[in-house]
Amino acid sequence: MKKLMSIGLVAVLVFAVVMAGCISGGGETSTTSGATETCSVEIYTGGTSGVYYPLGSAYANILNQYSKDEAGIKIEARAVTSGASVANAQAIGEGRAQAAIMQNDVAYYAYNGVILDAFKGKPVSKLRGVAALYPETIQFVVKADSGIKTLEDLKGKKVAVGAAGSGTAVAAQQILEAAGVWNDVDKVYLKFSEAAQQLKLGQIDAAVIVSGAPTPAIDQIAVQTPVRVLPIGEDILKKLKDKGYIFYVTQTLPKDTYKGMTEDTQTLAVKAVLVVSADVPDDVVYAMTKLLFLHVDELRQVHAKAQYISFDTALDGMSIPLHPGAIKYYEEKGKTVPSELKP
């Protein structure tokens, strides 16, 4: 019995080592930049009802299907459901994940060990970027018949600024501080679904949502309660950039995004980004980057947000250093990688 238990324990340990990283030609776990024959990659995503999981699952399938023939490396990938951005950064820091999808602002906070309580004084130094994927729109939503037209009009109003401790709450504070009204807003901390319902019932005046647009929670209430999104101009973006918040990008929402909108509206967005651990070998990340862009059309068949994934915009909003394997791919394809994105 003891012998059987020992054999079983050894088998479990061997499996754990294989799943934890990459296997070189000699059968040892490899975390170097040398040639790698097989690599197991756990890709942390989000909940099954969001965007991260279906995209992450499709990407894992691409790696499984094409990596050996098209990149010369057998990548055994698996998408994992998770609590999304914060949990994903923690999973990479703890070595449970080799890759993940997350918001670029959360990636910035995690890498630098700032802002969010989960990372203050606990930087995730292993975090490396691969590619910016698609915008997650920052939406200050009000009823269409509301007299609130600008961020400044939120003074004295009750605003749902996101769940306490969330990336949304941090973004809301940063933007409203840049607009000079943060201290004059009656702040309520609610999740997206709760905020949408309270907006519909008139219990709040505005809701801050950070998500791909159209966001289902807002789309659903707009059918009966038309809404508008407040504009966020270039002046606000400049103030944010001047404070070092490099992860914000501009986005224009078409007027048909929600029922109640009558004109295209300029706002801001953070970006969903594909990240990896610094421990993943260079040749594996090179292959992951290559296959992402070679097979982006397959991702676009899975979710509409994948229409934004493009080689041309792959570094827009990237907030952490790139992995050397990704840098190699971009430079081989003629893209200039800014010095601040090189580790």
What pTM does this model have?
Answer: 0.84
Same domain, 300 and 216: no
Taking residue 266's Cβ as centre, other Cβ atoms within 10 Å add up to 14
Q: For residue range 218-230, list pLDDT tens digits in order.
A: 999 999 999 999 9
Taking residue 303's Cβ as centre, other Cβ atoms within 10 Å add up to 18
Alpha-carbon distance of 78 to 76, in angstroms, equals 7
Same domain, 152 and 251: yes
298 or 165: whose pLDDT is higher? 298
Predicted pLDDT at 13: 36
Output the average pLDDT for the chain: 90
Q: For residue range 258-300, list pLDDT tens digits in order.
A: 999 999 999 999 999 999 999 999 999 999 999 999 999 999 9
Same domain, 155 and 261: yes
Please, is 163 exposed, middle or buried when counting C-beta atoms within 10 Å of its C-beta (0-12, 13-18, 19+)? middle
Assess contact for 266 and 230: CB atoms under 8 A.
no
Q: Residue 106 belongs to what H/E stretch?
A: helix 104-112
> CA quadruple 80, 86, 87, 89: dihedral positive or negative?
positive
343 or 138: whose pLDDT is higher? 138
Ranges 163-177, 228-242, 275-289, 294-308: which has the least confidence:
163-177
Same domain, 333 and 282: yes
Same domain, 153 and 256: yes
Tokens of 168: 């949304």
Same domain, 141 and 130: no
254: preceding bond cis by omega (within 30 degrees): no
Q: Which of 247, 268, 289 is the last residue before a domain boundary?
A: 268
Count of H helices and E strands in the chain?
11, 12
Predicted pLDDT at 251: 94
Same domain, 178 and 256: yes
Assess contact for 122 and 313: CB atoms under 8 A.
no
Taking residue 164's Cβ as centre, other Cβ atoms within 10 Å add up to 10
Could you tell me the pLDDT band of residue 232, with boundaries at 50, 70 and 90?
very high
Taking residue 39's Cβ as centre, other Cβ atoms within 10 Å add up to 27
In a domain, 4, yes or no: no
**Could you tell me what percentage of the chain is helix, strand and coil, using 3-state DSSP and rounding each to the nearest 5?**
40, 20, 40
**Residue 20 pLDDT greater than 60, yes or no:** no
- Phi/psi of residue 109, nearest 5 degrees: -60, -40
In a domain, 242, yes or no: yes
If one counts the domains in the chain, the total is 2
> For residue 211, what is the domain's CATH number?
3.40.190.10
Assess contact for 279 and 21: CB atoms under 8 A.
yes
Same domain, 161 and 44: no
Maximal C-alpha separation, the chain: 76
Q: Which residue has the tokens 């009656």?
A: 186
Mean pLDDT for 223-239 is 97
- Full domain range(s) for residue 313: 39-134+272-341
Assess contact for 338 and 317: CB atoms under 8 A.
no
Percentage of the chain modeled with pLDDT above 70: 90
Q: Which of 268, 295, 312 is the last residue before a domain boundary?
A: 268
Same domain, 212 and 163: yes
Same domain, 86 and 165: no
Whole-Å CA distances, 285 to 82, 213, 295, 320, 324: 22, 30, 15, 16, 8
